[in-house]
């Protein structure tokens, strides 16, 4: 690690707390949202420096892009003034400051005293052949800890239900004040989005990529289409949406339960077709996760609809 | 060459940090969005430079994903309408 | 250092200078529209220089094409984003600065 590496890391490490402080301290919610996007970008850089390109991919797609769009969209519905809070007493501030400093110092001491990073990287690499994929991260996600991923997908689908229960799902009327730019952009980018998503999905077998990253990119493309008013936000009343939501989970459960019929364990893929099965699971998961992520995006408020206080809508 | 690249990335990072001032100062929301755009382009540059190291090729894909998802935030911002009804 | 390394380094330095100039413009220009100019144009040109340095230095053609593709894509995205921000700001009633 050269001196310049260290300088880079120090600059990154200093920018992040400053950004977080500015996010929390700013009175204007819109500033906070933009700073949050910036924080997502810087975090992705940090993950890249920590040699974790998979997480950097997801942070770039979800943390910077999708979450930024969601938060900015939320501002349309609730208004930027909603962030104003009452001032806190001095005693509370001092107390919290002491607590935070103590925890921070304790963490720093603990980290410095760690002798060697213990990890399971060696074990995973040793058994990579059993997993039928070439990339350790995918092996862990879909082979060794496939059960966790299965449950996570179930959680995601449930979250989509929750998102849809609340979201107003309105359709904006009238002329588009921004046309034709969003439409042109959507037209140019959508094929590229699909291509890149497919590429990431395919690469997941041997390099950073995989179902979640591909789904995040697809969801980003979907949000672009909704913003360009080409698509409407997906609604639960549509059979196609419900089928897409459930498809990933259902297929994963089917493939996981299949070995039970032949007397093997749950999720013990038959060796001969393991690789194809894993890829098919990833494809189904990509479809489901992208719809789940897209469902969190409620679209624009109709003119005048968001003027009321949010509680009025219950 | 690695040191040269790291030097350039440090310069880029510093120019990004300097741009942070515009977020607090910028009178309109658009000024703040500009800084987000600056962050995006600079992050792509930094990632592409970092990706030239052996073993870090995946960072190019991260740069690609950044590029594809940048417009979502910008256009969402553009559609943002102050919901109190007043204002253009 | 071979000739290619020297040329690549020169290209990167020029790119970094453009990025720096863009940030200076962002901080010093008087209103949103001028800052939009200051940000979009030099940053993308700077990225172009950095990308060309990377492209001539890369060992495989696929890598060079990939980074150039990322640059072209970012050009398209930034150009449209810049127009969208400008139009949204105009619709909000903010008018350009003029020397009084």
- Does C39 sit within 8 Å of B37, measured CB to CB? yes
The yes-or-no verdict on residue B71 having pLDDT over 80 is yes
Which chains does A contact via 3+ CB–CB distances below 8 A? B, C
User: Out of B10, B32, B68, whose CB is closest to A8?
Assistant: B10
Please determine, for the modelled complex, whether the ipTM score is greater than 0.85: yes
pLDDT in the model for residue B63: 92
pLDDT in the model for residue A310: 44
Distances (CA, A) of B85 to A42, A73, A101, A178, A307: 35, 16, 43, 19, 6
Q: Does A185 touch chain C (CB under 8 A)?
A: yes
Interface test with C, best of A8, A182, A185, A196 (most C CBs within 10 A): A185
Task: Please report, rounded to a whole number, the percentage of residues in chain C having pLDDT higher than 70.
Answer: 98
Question: Is C100 contained in some domain?
Answer: no
Question: Is C79 contained in some domain?
Answer: yes
pLDDT in the model for residue A195: 94
Question: Is C96 contained in some domain?
Answer: no
Buried b (16+ CB within 10 A) or exposed e, A50-82: eebbbbbbbbbbbbbbbbbbbbbbbbbbebbee
Delimit the domains of chain A by residue range.
Answer: 1-80, 120-314
Q: Is the CB of residue C19 less than 8 Å from the CB of residue C42?
A: yes
Interface list for chain B against chain C, based on CB atoms closer than 8 Å:
1, 4-5, 8, 11-12, 15-16, 18-19, 21-22, 26, 28, 30-31, 33-35, 37-38, 41-42, 44-45, 48-49, 52, 57, 60, 63-64, 67-68, 70-71, 74-75, 77-80, 87-88
Number of B–C residue contacts, CB under 8 Å = 130
The yes-or-no verdict on residue C45 having pLDDT over 90 is yes
pLDDT band at B87 (very low <50, low <70, confident <90, very high): very low
The domain of C69 spans: 3-91
pLDDT digits (tens, 9 = 90+) for A87-97: 777 888 889 88
Question: Is C97 contained in some domain?
Answer: no
pLDDT band at C76 (very low <50, low <70, confident <90, very high): very high
Question: Is C99 contained in some domain?
Answer: no
Both structure tokens of A112: 């410095």
Phi, psi of A30 (to 5 degrees): -65, -40
pLDDT in the model for residue A234: 77
Q: Is the CB of residue A244 less than 8 Å from the CB of residue A287?
A: yes
**In which residue ranges of chain A is pLDDT below 70?**
1, 79-85, 117, 166-175, 178-179, 299-314
Q: What residues of chain C lie within 8 A of the CB of B2, using their CB?
A: none
Both structure tokens of C100: 């009084």
Taking residues C34-42, report their average pLDDT: 88
pLDDT in the model for residue A233: 77
Which chains does C contact via 3+ CB–CB distances below 8 A? A, B
Question: Is C98 contained in some domain?
Answer: no
CA C20 to CA A19: how far, in whole Å? Answer: 20
The yes-or-no verdict on residue C70 having pLDDT over 90 is yes
pLDDT in the model for residue C44: 92
Q: Quote the number of domains for chain C.
A: 1
Q: Identify the closest residue of chain B to A189 by CA–CA distance.
A: B68
Q: Which helix (H) or strand (E) holds C20?
A: helix C3-28
Interface test with A, best of C76, C85, C89 (most A CBs within 10 A): C76
pLDDT band at B85 (very low <50, low <70, confident <90, very high): very low
- Does A192 sit within 8 Å of B68, measured CB to CB? yes
pLDDT in the model for residue A99: 93
Higher per-residue confidence, C31 vs C12: C12
- Does C84 sit within 8 Å of A184, measured CB to CB? no
Q: Exposed/middle/buried for A45, CB within 10 Å: 0-12, 13-18, 19+?
A: buried
pLDDT in the model for residue B88: 38
Interface test with B, best of C25, C47, C70 (most B CBs within 10 A): C70
């Amino acid at each position: 690690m050269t001196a310049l590496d260290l300088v880079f890391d120090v600059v990154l490490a200093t920018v992040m707390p400053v950004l977080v402080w500015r996010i929390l301290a700013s009175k204007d919610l819109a500033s906070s949202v933009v700073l949050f996007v910036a924080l997502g970008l810087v975090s992705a850089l940090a993950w890249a420096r920590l040699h974790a390109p998979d997480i950097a991919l997801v942070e770039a797609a979800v943390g910077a892009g999708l979450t930024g769009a969601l938060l900015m969209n939320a501002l349309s519905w609730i208004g930027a003034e909603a962030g104003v809070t009452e001032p806190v007493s001095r005693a509370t501030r001092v107390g919290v400051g002491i607590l935070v400093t103590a925890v921070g110092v304790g963490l720093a001491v603990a980290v410095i005293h760690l002798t060697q990073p213990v990890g399971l990287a060696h074990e995973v690499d040793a058994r990579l052949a059993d997993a039928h994929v070439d990339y350790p991260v995918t092996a862990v996600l879909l082979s060794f800890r496939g059960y966790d991923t299965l449950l996570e997908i179930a959680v995601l689908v449930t979250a989509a239900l929750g998102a849809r229960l609340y979201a107003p799902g309105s359709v904006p009327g009238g002329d588009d004040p921004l046309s034709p730019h969003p439409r042109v952009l959507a037209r140019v980018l959508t094929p590229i989005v699909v291509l890149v998503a497919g590429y990431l999905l395919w690469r997941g077998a041997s390099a950073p990529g995989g179902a979640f990253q591909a789904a995040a990119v697809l969801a980003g493309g979907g949000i672009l289409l909704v913003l360009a008013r080409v698509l409407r936000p997906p609604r639960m009343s549509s059979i196609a949406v419900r089928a897409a939501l459930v498809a990933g989970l259902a297929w994963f459960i089917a493939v996981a339960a299949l070995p039970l019929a032949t007397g093997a364990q749950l999720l013990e893929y038959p060796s001969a077709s393991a690789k194809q099965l894993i890829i098919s699971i990833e494809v189904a998961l990509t479809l489901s996760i992208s719809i789940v992520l897209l469902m969190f995006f409620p679209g624009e408020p109709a003119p005048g609809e968001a003027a009321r206080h949010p509680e009025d809508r219950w | 060459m690695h040191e040269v690249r790291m030097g350039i990335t440090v310069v880029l990072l510093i120019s990004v940090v300097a741009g942070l001032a515009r977020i607090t100062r910028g009178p309109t929301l658009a000024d703040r969005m500009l800084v987000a755009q600056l962050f995006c382009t600079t992050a792509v540059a930094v990632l592409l430079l970092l990706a030239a190291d052996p073993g870090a090729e995946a960072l190019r894909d991260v740069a690609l994903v950044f590029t594809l998802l940048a417009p979502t935030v910008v256009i969402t911002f553009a559609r943002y309408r102050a919901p109190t009804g007043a204002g253009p | 250092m071979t000739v290619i390394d020297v040329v690549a380094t020169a290209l990167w330095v020029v790119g970094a200078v453009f990025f720096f100039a863009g940030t200076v413009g962002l901080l010093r220009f008087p209103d949103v529209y001028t800052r939009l100019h200051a940000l979009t144009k030099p940053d993308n040109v700077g990225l172009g220089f950095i990308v060309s340095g990377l492209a001539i230095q890369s060992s495989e053609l696929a890598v060079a094409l990939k980074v150039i593709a990322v640059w072209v894509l970012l050009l398209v995205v930034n150009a449209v984003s810049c127009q969208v921000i400008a139009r949204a700001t105009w619709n909000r009633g903010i008018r350009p600065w003029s020397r009084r």
